[in-house]
Amino acid sequence: MDMKDMLESSSCSGSEPIALQVVDDSMEPEFKKDNIIIIDKTGLIENECYVVATIVNGPIFRQLLIEDGRYFIQPLNEAYMHEREEITADAIYGRVIQQSAPKGKRKDRKHYL
C-alpha cells in the first residue's frame, strides 16, 4: 500500500491526527531524517506552515508558501529548492503540528501551532 492509500484508508476518524516519519533530508535543518511528525487534517492552513500535500508522485512533506493567493510548496534544504512547485488548496492533506526524534522524550517535542 502506498502512502496516499494509507492516508485515505486510515482507520482514524477524519479529525484524528496521524503520525508519519520523515524519510529524507529535504526538510533539514528544521526536520531531521527519521523524525516523527504529527499531521492534523483539520489544522489551520496559513503562509509558511508545514504541510503534507498530494502531488503527481504522491504525498509529500513541505513548507507551504502563499503568494498572491497562489499556493506553493518547497523544501527547506537548499539542495532541493528545484522541487518548489505550485499546488491547489485541495491538494493539502493536513498541517504538521508537532515533531519529535524517533526515541525522543516528551520535553524534546516541538510544536507548530
- What pLDDT band is residue 104 in, cutting at 50, 70 and 90? confident
Q: Are 58 and 4 in contact (CB under 8 A)?
A: yes
Phi-psi map region of 23: left, alpha, beta (phi>0 left; psi -120 to 50 alpha): alpha
Check which CATH number belongs to the domain holding 46 and give it. Answer: 2.10.109.10
Q: What is the pLDDT of residues 54-84, one digit of tens each?
A: 999 899 999 999 999 999 999 999 999 999 9
Domain limits at 21?
Answer: 3-111
Task: Cell 529548492: give the residue.
Answer: 81
Distance set, CA 67 to CA 47, 64, 78, 90, 107 (Å): 8, 10, 20, 16, 35
